[in-house]
Amino acid sequence: MFIFSFDGGWKTFFRMFVFLLVGLFIGGYAFILVVDPYDSIPFSPDWDRTTVDRDQPFFYPSLARSARFDSAIIGTSTVRLLRPDDLNERFQCRFVNLAMNAASLLKQEAILDIFLRHHPKPKVIIFGIDHVNFEEKNYQQRIEDSKLWPEWLYDQNPYNNFPPYRFHTLKHAWRQLLYLSGLKTYQYGRDGYTDFTKPMDEYDLNRARVKIYGMHDPKPIKAVVPPVTMSSQAIRELRFPSLVVLERMLDKLPPETVKILFVTPFHHHAQPVPGSEKEILWGEFLRRLVALAKNRLRTCVLNFNIPSPITMEDSHYWDPGHYTVVVAARLAALIEEGAKGDTANANFVRLVPKNDSRPLGSDQIGITAPNVSKGGEG
């Protein structure tokens, strides 16, 4: 039987083991610093990095800083399918889509702040307005776990932008290295756009209806009878704290920036039921949204969350809140129509400027007719 000698063998082994661990630790973190997967370290090589993982909060700060863009889309997954290439020529801008899944208003403000620090005079900002703005429970939602929300990437301190040393970071660095070396490409767009839905040839209407209605067959909406009533005092006391954050974000934008508040089109079955308390709440929310926007220069509110040719068609949706890429491509043209003053469309209502007021023409909102090639990168 072989036995190690404690007089020298174990000590040598232990020293080599410690040196190996230290070397691996230093070498691993040096690898992270050189590859710089989030493009956040000032002294790392100036390589053409990209988004290599679906962890949007880690990669979108780099996109927000990029000089390739002059306009942005802010919101949640309900506007992630807005393709910058579909908007660039229409608005003569270079859009980046910075919408993040389930992003609270505080997170949306955080990514907007980075964009504004590097683009103090953006041309156009599109805000997706959906349930996150409407429901009070979403206001405080902010995941502090650094594995999910890297606070250090969003503050203004450049000296704490060193990624944490863990497997999550090593994985991103390795994937970034594969991209930089040309060994692998990724589906995540260089302008923030990613089709996160399944391919349309895999679309299953029955499966979509189960998600929308809770069953395979469409279920009619029944109005609440008698309708719910609420006193004017109770309506005044309703709280929509996310609107405070939205107002703060709007205050940060210069007057010349075109500001489009895009109320996203949920399936009609997910919209407030006529006569319900939610209908009252939604009406008051829209009233306050209009009040927030109506006196701001180059600002419009487009409400797509209405019964319309888009929202009444089941095949336009994967689930109650997420439309297909086919619908998303149509929305780009409709948003352009609404921003330029075309209110005669069954798919949306332009709340600001009001429909009965003089149309806000392209010369006033700062958008000219498209006559140049697309900008930005896809």
pLDDT, one tens digit per residue, over 314-337 is: 999 999 999 999 999 999 999 999
Order of strands across the sheet that contains 95-97: 95-97, 71-74, 124-129, 258-263, 299-303, 349-352
Q: What is the pLDDT of residues 233-267, one digit of tens each?
A: 999 999 999 999 999 999 999 999 999 999 999 99
Contacts (Cβ under 8 Å, ≥6 apart) of 233: none
Is 80 exceeded by the pLDDT of residue 281?
yes
User: Could you tell me where the DSSP H helices lie in the chain?
Assistant: 9-35, 56-65, 84-91, 105-118, 131-134, 167-180, 205-213, 232-236, 242-251, 277-293, 325-340, 362-365
Q: Does the residue 232 lie in any domain?
A: yes
Q: pLDDT for 21-33, tens place per residue?
A: 777 778 888 999 9
User: How far apart are alpha carbons 308 and 263 in whole angstroms?
Assistant: 13
- Is the residue at 37 inside a domain? no
In a domain, 76, yes or no: yes
Q: Please indicate, yes or no, if residue 16 is contained in any of the structural domains.
A: no
Domain count, the chain: 1
CATH number of the domain to which 230 belongs:
3.40.50.1110
pLDDT of the residue at 156: 83
Q: Is the preceding peptide bond at 241 cis, omega within 30 degrees of 0?
A: no
210 assigned to some structural domain: yes
173: confidence class by pLDDT, cuts 50, 70, 90: very high
How confident is the model over 214-235, as pLDDT tens digits?
999 999 999 999 999 999 999 9
Tens of pLDDT along 81-136?
A: 999 999 999 999 999 999 999 898 989 999 999 999 999 999 999 999 998 888 77
Q: Considering only residues 50 and 161, tell me which one the structure prediction assigns the higher pLDDT.
A: 50
Q: Which two tokens stand for residue 96?
A: 């980046």
pLDDT at 372 over 60: no
259 found inside a domain: yes
User: What DSSP assignment string belongs to 146-174?
Assistant: TTT--GGGTSS-GGG-PPP-SHHHHHHHH
Domain extent at residue 330: 69-145+190-365
Mean pLDDT (whole number) for 303-312: 97
The whole-number pLDDT of residue 8 equals: 60
